[in-house]
Structure 1
Amino acid sequence: MSESLGDPASAEMNATAPETFRARFETSRGTFVVESNRAWSPNGVDRFYNLVRGGFFNDVRFFRVIAGFMAQFGINGDPVIQGSWRDANIPDDPVLMGNTRGRVSFATAGPNTRSTQLFINFGDNSRLDEMGFSPIGEVIEGMEVVDALYSGYGEGAPNGNGPSQGRIQAEGNAYLEADFPSLDYIERATLVGEN
């Protein structure tokens, strides 16, 4: 894990991504690979590249998995690390590609609020395009692994029985392991060709 992981403003966490690269996600269900193309969403791809490179996604839960819709992840299991990234937002990118099956996009809470949370589309969610969700890549291997992620908890609190994002931010993996033990998780995410 990068020493700069706790400092979103560091040069190391703000490197420009290659034009294309692949990230391997080793999970509790198996492995999948995301290919990113910087031309699709430059700000988003740069952030994704640096988060993977820095080890941000290691031991991170898929905390919101809605069958037929998407699988969301990207809240660090360590509340101290997550706290440093919570307001480290990046500017929006134009939506150049659609939110179709296997595409990966950042979650947002409104304009220019992308930070560390991403989701993988299970199906055609092109209705999200006009809402500003700009895909940063797509799953090119292992989509069956993504399809198999545990979705039994459904929507998060307060609208459903799943985890509260506020509590994940504050309490990290300790909360999820105690109250939502069936959640699948990323064991390790690495850039293909790097260790």
Structure 2
Amino acid sequence: MRRTLATLASAIALASFALSAPAHAQGKLDSPANLAEKAPATYKAKFDTSKGAFVVEVTRDWAPNGADRFYNLVKNGFYDNVRFFRVISGFMVQFGINGDPKISAPWREARISDDPVKQSNRRGYITYAMAGPNTRTSQVFINFADNANLDNSGFAPFGRIVSGMDVVDKLNAEYGEGAPRGRGPDQGRIQMEGNAYLNKEFSRLDYVKKATIER
């Protein structure tokens, strides 16, 4: 009887865990093609970080493809526990590689088409990192300064910080530019080893505790 009750209790506990588990634990992030919900015309995403909270207001009309991708990533927990791995004072802060290599892997090639540049890369505006035309995936950066020189290169802002820019300014910049040009983390190793690599060799990086869509 006791064994039966223990088994039942374990089953209930497991069921409760499954219901409360984060989205990525339930496999929602395994297939980028299935996360293609159209974003609202405007929405806010709150990022609770190791330095405090900041809020991004996204305007879909600025960059529809970018706004939709960001909405799906935030809503499904992709940015939870990710590190701000490239922080260059006076320029920008970059993040968006999931700490679990199994989750980040399918997103490396999940590219979205470019959006026309409708807004300038001003201080506090958020934009996707990219490596040429039509290469945007999940990595984004927030401009610390007015970086209008990026506009002609196709970097299309899709939102801006509406509260907590002081928090963004405080993100740890001691490691600076990434390897091999700087002493910061190597993006290839982040992709392959995730937070295990960053925790071991760059333990003072700031990070996102949780990102949520605000209603």
**Residue equivalent to 1:103:** 125
CA deviation map 1:28-48 (0-9, x unaligned): 000000000000000000000
SS in 1 for 2:138: coil
Q: Which runs of 4+ in 1 moved over 3 A?
A: none
- Which of 18, 39, 58 pairs up with 2:80? 58
- Percent of matched pairs sharing the same residue: 58
Amino acid at match of 1:54: N
Could you tell me how far 1:172 is from its partner in structure 2? Answer: 0.1
3-state SS of 1:156 partner: coil
How far is 1:6 from its partner?
Answer: 1.3
Q: Which amino acid letter does the alignment assign opposite residue 50 of structure 1?
A: N
Q: Which residue of 1 aligns with 2:138?
A: 116
Alignment-derived partner of residue 43 in structure 2: 21
1:10-159 superposed matches below 5 A? 10=34, 13-159=35-181
In structure 2, distance between residues paired with 1:6 and 1:36: 25
Find the aligned partners of 2:39 and 2:152 in 1 and give their Cα distance: 26
How big is the shift at 1:52?
0.3
SS of corresponding position for 2:177: coil
Is residue 8 from structure 1 mapped to residue 36 from structure 2 by the alignment?
no
The structure in which a higher percent of residues are helix is 2
- 1:16-74 deviation line (CA, Å, top 9, x unaligned): 00000000000000000000000000000000000000100000000000000000000
Q: Distance in 2 between matches of 1:110 and 1:91?
A: 11
Amino acid at match of 2:32: P
Provide structure 2 residue ranges, at least 5 long, that are not aligned to the other structure: 1-21
Q: After superposition, what is the alpha-carbon deviation per residue over 1:160-193, rounded to whole angstroms, capped at 9, x for unaligned?
A: 0000000000000000000000100000000013
Q: Name the larger-Rg structure.
A: 2
What secondary structure is seen at the aligned counterpart in 2 of 1:24? strand
Instruction: With the length of structure 1 as denominator, give the TM-score of the two structures.
Output: 0.97
Alpha-carbon distance in 1 for matches of 2:74, 2:154: 23
**Separation in 2 of the partners of 1:128 and 1:70?**
11
Q: Distance in 2 between matches of 1:116 and 1:33?
A: 18
Which ranges of structure 1 fall in alignment gaps of 5 or more residues?
none
Cα deviation, 1:122-147, whole Å, max 9, x if unaligned, reads 00001000000000100000000000
Deviation at 1:4, TM superposition (A): 1.3
CA distance in 2: counterparts of 1:59 and 1:29, whole angstroms: 13
Partner secondary structure for residue 175 of structure 1:
helix
SS of the counterpart of 2:28? helix
Q: TM-score, normalised by structure 2?
A: 0.88
